Amino acid sequence: MSTLAEKTCSPCEGGIPALDATAAEALMAKLESRWTLSADARQISAQFAFRDYFRTMAFINAVAYVAAQEDHHPDISFGYNACTITWWTHAVDGLSENDFICAAKVDRLADGK
Ligand SMILES: C[C@H](O)[C@H](O)[C@H]1CNC2=NC(N)=NC(=O)C2=N1
């Protein structure tokens, strides 16, 4: 669906502004509809449901692999058969394009594309 998934994260150590709500909303349109933008436009998150604990953990490990490759790391919460992935860029205390690149890569993982 998205060429965002073909991009690579840029190292981010701050010094740039976070995306504003308008820019974040424009990038949201490139992600699958499972993603929601927080009310303050500083985070995006999505929930993923699975049949069992093993499948949930397998997906989380795949996301962790993407995070390690991109050097950009999500917050992840999980239970027996679901997990929530939240992306934000600590260095800018809000969203950067990196978050959307990683979310698009997670969409690709989840949808087998
Ligand atoms: C240099 C490197 O890009 C930074 O330390 C990265 C590591 N992973 C990161 N992950 C997230 N989510 N936000 C960051 O600001 C961040 N910084």
* Per-residue confidence (pLDDT) for residue 96, from 0 to 100: 97
Higher-pLDDT residue of 15 and 6 is: 6
State the ipTM, two decimals: 0.94
Q: What is the pLDDT of residues 68-104, one digit of tens each?
A: 999 999 999 999 999 999 999 999 999 999 999 999 9
| Whole-prediction pTM | 0.95
Cα–chain center distance at 67: 9
Structure tokens at 73: 């790391």
Average pLDDT, the chain: 95
Mutate to test the pocket of ligand 1, among 71, 75, 95, 100 (most ligand atoms within 8 A of CB): 71
Question: Looking at domain 19-111, does it have CATH number 3.40.50.1820?
Answer: no
Check if the beta carbon of residue 72 is closer than 8 Å to that of residue 9: yes
Residue boundaries of the structural domains of the chain: 19-111
Task: Locate the ligand 1 atom nearest the alpha carbon of residue 11 and give its number.
Answer: 3
Inform me whether the pLDDT recorded for 1 exceeds 80.
Answer: no
- Is any ligand 1 atom within 6 A of the Cβ of residue 13? yes
Which residue lies with its CA nearest to atom 3 of ligand 1?
11
> 94 CA distance to ligand 1 centroid (A)?
12
DSSP class of residue 104 equals H
